[in-house]
A and B are shown apart, each in its own frame.
Chain A
Amino acid sequence: MMGSLRRISAVASNTFLEAVRQKVFAVLLVFGLVLIYGANYFTEFSFQEQFKFLKDLGYAAISLTGLLVGLLGASQLIPGEIERRTILTALCRPLHRWEFIVGKYLGLAVLLGVMVGVMALAVGGVLGWKEAQLVAREGSDPAVAAAIQKEARDPRLLQAVLLVGVKLAVVAAVAVFFSTVATSTTFVIAMTLMVYLIGHLQSVAREQWLESGEVVQAGAKLFLAAVAFLVPDFNLYNLIDEIIAGNEVVWRSTLEVVGYSVVYITVLLTAASVVFEGRDI
C-alpha cells in the first residue's frame, strides 16, 4: 500500500512539475492582469451590476482557462508520453499501469486545483479592490457601504470555486479515458469535447423528448438511459450560474454534485486503467 502511494505520488509530482516547468502558470499571471485591467471598465453601472459583471467575467475566465488546460493537458498525458517514448522508461519499472494512470490524473488534478485556486484568489483580489474603490466613492452612507461589502465578500463564491474545480476534474477524467484508447491528441480532444457538449445537452434533450407527448419506444428509452449512464450530466454544474446570480444554493446540493463527480471520476479512471492494462506500448 505504501509502495503504491509512493509510486502514484512519484508520477503525480512529475506530471505537476512538468506542467510548472513548461510555464503553464505564466497563463495564470496573464489571466490575473487581464482581469484587473478589465475591472477598470464598466464603472457607469450600479455597484450591484459591477460586482455581478466581475463575478461573471471572473468565473467564465476560470472555467475557460481551466477547460483549455484540462483538455490539452489530459489529452497529452498518455499520447504525449507515448510520442516522446518516455513511457517506456516509466512502465518498465515495477509499477502497475493503473498506478501510472491514477498518478498522471492526480498530477493534472492538482495542477487544475492550483490554477482554479490562484485564479479564484485573483477574482477575490479584484472584488476587494473594487470594494475599496466603491466604498471610497459611494460608501458615506453606512447602509450602502455594508451592501457593497456584502456583494464583494459573498462566501457562496467558495461553493462556485469548488463546483468549477470538480467540473474541470470530470472533464480531465473523460480526456484521460480517451487518451488510453487513442494515439492521437486530436482524437482525444474531439471526443472529450463531444462528451462535454452531450453532457450539457442531454438532460435538456431528454426532458424535451419525454415531455413532447410522443410515445417513446423501448429502444429509444434504452438509448436515453445509456447516454444518461455513460455521459456525465454537466447541467448539474449550472449551480455555479445560480451562485453568481446571487441565488441561494445550499451546501448539501453542492456536496451532492461533488459526490456525483467523484463517482464519475472513479468509474472513468477504472475504465481507463482496464483499457490501458492490455495495451501494447
Chain B
Amino acid sequence: MSAAVQTERLRKEFPMGWFRGRVLALEGLDMEVQRGEVFGLLGPNGSGKSTAMKMILGLLRPTSGRAEVCGFRAGTIAARRQIGFLPENPYFPNFLTGMELVRYYGRLSGMGGSVLEKRIQELMELVRLGGEAGKRPLRTYSKGMLQRAGLAGAMVGDPEILLLDEPTAGVDPAGSREIRDLILELRGRGKTVIFSSHLLEQVEDVADRVIILHRGQKLREGRLEDLLTRKKEWEVSVQGLKEADRKELRGWLEKHGAEVVREGAPRERLEDYFLRSLPEEKRR
C-alpha cells in the first residue's frame, strides 16, 4: 500500500516581483508519512511548514520535485479527496453558522442529501458543537470553537488524512487539550494526521514521528522515542523513600558505577496543573 503522503525533492521558490529575484521557501524536502501515523511538522515561522502543506494540498505548484497523496499526484481531485485541511487561522466565511460551514464544505466535496445531514450531526457532536452552538454564526465563536468547527469541516468528507496547520495556535489550554484529544481519537480511528506546530510540548504528547524544518531545509526526522529518549539513562519514580534510604541508595548506585545525573521531587507540567485547577465543566 502506498504511503499516506510522500514528497521527493519538493522545492518551492516564490518570485519577489519584477527584477527582484526569487525567495526560496522550501528546499528539496523528502518526506514519507505512513498511513495511521500522527506526524508533526516542526519549525519556527518561515521554516516552510505551511508551504509544504499547501503543496501537498495542491494550492501551490512545486517549482520542482513531486508530492503524492495515497499514490495520487498532489493537487489532483483524487488526491484532494483523501485530505481534510484545517488552516492555521480560522479562515472561514463568518456569515455562516457552524452547521452551515460543515454543510458547505460537505457540498464542495460532492456530498448531499440525508448522507450529508447525518454526517453533519455526527461531526458536530464529535467536536462538541451539537445543539444550539452549531446554529450560531461563526463570528460569535471563540477561537477554540472556530478550530473545532473547522476540524468538523475538515472531516466531513471522511478523508484518510487530516492536515492541520497550527491547530492550537491562539487557543487556550483547555481548548488546546480538546484538540489534542481529538487528534488522538482520530488516530484511534485509523486516520493519518499531519500537523504543524511550534508548541513543542503538545507535539510531544501526540506525534509518533516528527520532522524539523528550518529556513526551508530539513534538519532532523525520526520517531519521537528515538529522538528524545536518553538511552544511557534510567529513570525510576518512587514514593515513601526516607532520607536515610536515599543516602543508602546513592551509595549503592556509586558502588555499582552509576552516576546520579539529577535527583529531586518531580514537577507537574504547568498545563496539567492549570487544567486540574479549573472546575470540572471548564476542563471540558
Query: Measuring CB to CB, which residues of chain A are less than 8 angstroms from any residue of chain B?
Result: 3, 6-7, 9-11, 14, 17-18, 21-22, 84-86, 88-96, 278, 280-281
Q: A93-B108, A95-B108 are in contact. Are A86 and B77 (CB under 8 A)?
A: no
Choose among B93, B109, B112 the residue that contacts A93 (Cβ–Cβ < 8 A): B109
Q: A94-B80, A280-B61 are in contact. Are A89 and B87 (CB under 8 A)?
A: yes
Contacts of B78 on A, CB cut-off 8 Å? 94
Of B41-49, B52-60, B181-189, the stretch lying at the interface with chain A is B52-60
Given A21-B95, A88-B54, A94-B157, 19 extra CB contacts under 8 A: A7-B107, A7-B108, A10-B104, A14-B93, A14-B96, A14-B104, A17-B96, A18-B95, A85-B87, A85-B91, A89-B85, A89-B91, A92-B80, A92-B85, A93-B80, A93-B108, A93-B109, A94-B108, A96-B77
Query: Measuring CB to CB, which residues of chain B are less than 8 angstroms from any residue of chain A?
Result: 14, 54, 57-61, 77-78, 80-81, 83, 85, 87, 89, 91-93, 95-96, 104-105, 107-112, 150, 153, 157
List the A residue with the shortest CB-CB distance to B60. Answer: A280
A14 to B153, CA, bound (A): 15
Of the candidates A9, A22, A89, the one having the most CB atoms from chain B within 10 angstroms of its own CB is A89
Contacts of B104 on A, CB cut-off 8 Å? 10, 14
A10 to B80, CA, bound (A): 17
- Cβ-defined contact, B61 with A88, below 8 A: no
Interface of B is mostly: loop
- Cβ-defined contact, B150 with A6, below 8 A: no
- Cβ-defined contact, A88 with B91, below 8 A: yes
- Cβ-defined contact, B60 with A90, below 8 A: no
Contacts of B95 on A, CB cut-off 8 Å? 17-18, 21-22
Contacts of A9 on B, CB cut-off 8 Å? 107
- Cβ-defined contact, A93 with B87, below 8 A: no
A17 to B150, CA, bound (A): 20
Contacts of B85 on A, CB cut-off 8 Å? 88-89, 92
Choose among A11, A86, A94, A95 the residue that contacts B91 (Cβ–Cβ < 8 A): A86
Of the candidates A7, A14, A278, A281, the one having the most CB atoms from chain B within 10 angstroms of its own CB is A14
A12 to B60, CA, bound (A): 24
Contacts of A90 on B, CB cut-off 8 Å? 108
